[in-house]
Chains A and B, each alone.
Chain A
Amino acid sequence: MSTNPVKFYDSSIQMAHGAGGKASRRLVEGLIAPLFGLAEISGEMSGQAMTLNDAAYLPLGSAGTLAFTTDSFVVKPLRFAGGSIGDLAVNGTINDLAVSGAKPLALVSSFILEAGLSSEVLEIEVRTMAEAAKRAGVRIVGGDTKVVEHGSADGMFITTAGIGLVDTRAHLGAQNVRVGDKVIVSGPLGDHGITVLLARGDVDLETDDLRSDTRPLWHLVNALLTALEGSTEALRWMRDPTRGGAASALNELANDCGLCVALQDEKIPVRESVRGACELLGLDPLTIACEGQFIAIVAPEYAERACEVLGKEAVVMGEITQTPAKTVISKTQYGGTRVIDMLTGDPLPRIC
């Protein structure tokens, strides 16, 4: 008799289960991963304990290792400053591969369309996807379409899946992270989440300069791998802080590596307009999604070089310390300390 591996006690699915925070983790770790046997699969593949990565690794022996991932997009509204659901559907999946150290090769795309959706709207998004894929040097090689009754989906939902080839220079994993490593972020946090929130028109705020940061990240990751080629271990870990924001990504890291991620408030890059909106709405920019930034943990001696490669918006915003273990903290500029917890609930539903 095997015991029930499911450890998920929430009686129904709430929006928070899709927000990328604590509830999402509970759902995946408590229900989905155990029933799919992901821990055993992950162990067989890598010989390591299971951690929730952005992509699965499929070793092909001497041919290398494939990375395989999927992501669904339900953003509302479909278009917003700086991008649309089509951009997210391509870039999101590419970026999950990229931060897993894999060069994205091909995508498949599946559409769930609501009866009554304007063909023009659909055409615009398909064109957007084709262009985004072309720009990123990735081919969309297949897909599927389903149509549901009017009212059963909000216009369109898109799911993409992608494969990539793991770069031989990439040796990523939370277990590689060491005390003293630097926490580097490629650019300002929260642009995407706040842009979509404002595009929805629920809050009467306007900004002139704010756009979603959606973009493919492989070229940046590739540049970073090239720049750090001298030391295969210099780049320890990467993650794109999408749903749940940097707070969730870094809490997962802290948990997985057993160390402390210690940020410095004043170093955390946030645009004035995003900061302003967060102040008004009582949100923490660290919990707001990006769609074109990533966080990298880099050996201290390579931090400067890494920032140079990533461009002028990249900064060191913290470092890894021994204690308090499995915790993310931020040092305020006044010498105080606050704990950065994982996102609870769902402040901004359906942003991607």
Chain B
Amino acid sequence: MKFISEFRDSVLIQKTADEIRRLTSGTGRTFRIMEVCGGHTHAIYRFGLKDVLPKEIEMIHGPGCPVCVLPEARIDAGLELVRHEGVIMTMFGDMMRVPGKYGTPLDMKAKGADIRMVYSPMDALTIAQKNPDKHVVFFAIGFETTAPATALSLIMAKKQHLTNFSIFCNHIIIAPPLRALLDFPDLRLDGFIGPGHVSTIIGCKPYEFISAEYGKPVVVSGFEPLDLMQSIMMCVRQLIEGRCEVENQYGRAVLWDGNSRALAALEEVFDERNSFEWRGLGFIPHSGWKIRDEYAEFDAEKRFSVIETSVEINSEAACGDVLRGLKKPHDCPLFGTVCTPENPVGALMVSSEGACSAYHQYGQRLHEIEIPSNFKLQEETVV
């Protein structure tokens, strides 16, 4: 079992596609399904699944890319910290190309700022241990997926009595924006493909309100093409049978009650904020984590008294509508012209998991140029 090829089996995927087609044909309706997670959006384009699905299925890209939803005010406030003497700023690679008022972290690095890419907050902790005369800040982003690792780094830092390490905390919580989306009056959605990675931590329970209060099905899904196809099939089946339940397609990684040790680490270190701002969605109550008072010494916001200033965004950018599933990326006037992966205006274009970036990378030009329907590589001449 290699856990990749098995879930990319083209025969099984075709069979699943056939079943979805059988279920939807003749219903005369469109099934509008939101994949919450940016990883799913990326996979749908990367594997060309849109072309495999029948026209009755419309996939809508959700707000599940933490880089994309981070408001510019927070980006600016975090990057402001680099200007303090002796600060080493660390962050995930995705953050390095996010533009703020000082340019992107990459621009700032090119001009001499000490900004380093890390793969884990634990790497940032190691940098702090190795540089006792510097102060290392980790620019923490992500849902409950990455938050436990941040929590662990703080628990370790406290144990080791480190005094030169802190976190600029932008961790966010997945359920509140889904409720906010469902409360939008103009939202037309039939069901959700639930995020996979975050659910390995929180389990399926936090989505129960979606079926109980809003009557929409949720299927928590893995990231391989077969996972997604099966999840879409399960969602469609629920809709046709008139059910609305939380189902777990990603059973090989997600437990119903989540990962209790990771949840305990979150509980130890973090507390809910009253409110947190989301790009495109505005302020959402109880949607972010802050660092508990017991760990205040490691809270960069307290340590450096961070001040957020409001930021004007390009008024033509349709990031908000795209995040709410009201517009497709190519409906935005800036898409592919002013806003490109090379020079992103909105964060949806920055991260490879952002809907606009995925559209641009894998599909944009296909909207302009029809692929011949008979396109097929000729029979292999080589044995």
Contact = CB atoms under 8 A, between A and B. Distances in A.
Nearest to A330: B48
- Interface SS, A side: mixed
B361 A341 contact: yes
A267 B371 CA distance: 20
A304 B381 contact: yes
Interface in A303-321: 303-304, 307, 315-316, 318-319, 321
Given A323-B369, A324-B371, A339 B377 contact: no
A331 B378 CA distance: 12
B184 interface: no
Interface string B344-367: 000000001000000011111110
A329 to B, nearest CB: 7
A337 interface: yes
Nearest to B9: A333
B204 to A, nearest CB: 25
B107 A12 contact: yes
A267 B381 CA distance: 13
B8 A333 contact: yes
A151 interface: no
Interface string A257-280: 000001010010000100110010
Interface stretch (B49-57, B192-200, B322-330): B49-57
B377 A331 contact: yes
B13 A334 contact: yes
Contact of A334 (B10, B119, B383): B10
Interface string A159-203: 000000000000000000000101000000000000000000011
Nearest to A14: B110
B225 A319 contact: no
Contact of B47 (A204, A324, A332, A345): A332
B52 A324 contact: no
B51 A335 contact: yes
A338 B48 contact: yes
Nearest to A315: B382
Given A336-B51, A337-B51, A319 B377 contact: yes
A324 B365 CA distance: 8
Contacts of A321: 372, 375
Contacts of A341: 341, 360-362
Contact of B377 (A16, A264, A276, A304): A264
Interface string B39-77: 000000111111110000000000000000000000000
Nearest to A205: B119
A235 interface: no
Contacts of A323: 369-372
B119 A316 contact: no
A345 B381 contact: no
B111 interface: yes
A282 interface: yes
A132 interface: no
Given A339-B366, A345-B97, A334 B375 contact: no
B375 A331 contact: yes
B377 A334 contact: no
Nearest to A272: B2
B213 interface: no
A250 B362 CA distance: 15
A15 B107 CA distance: 9
A49 interface: no
Interface in B301-359: 341-342, 352
Contacts of B260: none
Contacts, number: 116
A300 B381 contact: yes
A336 B371 CA distance: 11
B381 A316 contact: yes
B21 to A, nearest CB: 13
A325 interface: yes
A141 interface: no
Contacts of A335: 14, 48, 51-52
Interface string B254-269: 0000000000000000
B366 A336 contact: no
A13 interface: yes
A23 interface: yes
B375 A327 contact: no
A344 interface: yes
B269 to A, nearest CB: 23
B52 A307 contact: no
Contacts of A333: 8, 10
B97 A339 contact: no
Given A262-B377, A332-B48, A338 B363 contact: yes
Looking at A334, A336, A341, A345, which has the most chain B CB atoms within 10 Å of its CB? A334
B3 to A, nearest CB: 10
B375 A262 contact: yes
Contacts of A203: 119
A76 interface: no
Contacts of B50: 336
A351 to B, nearest CB: 15
A14 B106 contact: yes
Interface of A: 12-16, 22-23, 180, 182, 202-204, 262, 264, 267, 272, 275-276, 279, 282, 300, 303-304, 307, 315-316, 318-319, 321, 323-325, 327, 329, 331-339, 341, 344-345, 347
Interface of B: 2, 4, 8, 10, 13-14, 17, 45-52, 93, 97, 106-107, 110-111, 119, 225, 341-342, 352, 360-366, 368-372, 375-378, 380-383
30 contacts: A14-B106, A14-B107, A14-B110, A262-B377, A267-B377, A267-B380, A303-B381, A319-B377, A319-B378, A323-B370, A323-B371, A324-B365, A324-B366, A324-B368, A332-B47, A333-B8, A334-B10, A334-B13, A334-B14, A334-B17, A334-B47, A335-B14, A335-B51, A336-B48, A336-B50, A338-B46, A338-B47, A341-B341, A341-B362, A344-B361
* 10 nearest A-B residue pairs (beta carbon): A336-B48, A324-B369, A336-B51, A332-B48, A338-B362, A333-B10, A344-B341, A307-B382, A334-B13, A264-B377
Given A14-B106, A337-B375, 11 more contacts: A203-B119, A262-B375, A262-B377, A264-B377, A316-B380, A323-B372, A331-B377, A339-B365, A341-B341, A341-B362, A345-B341
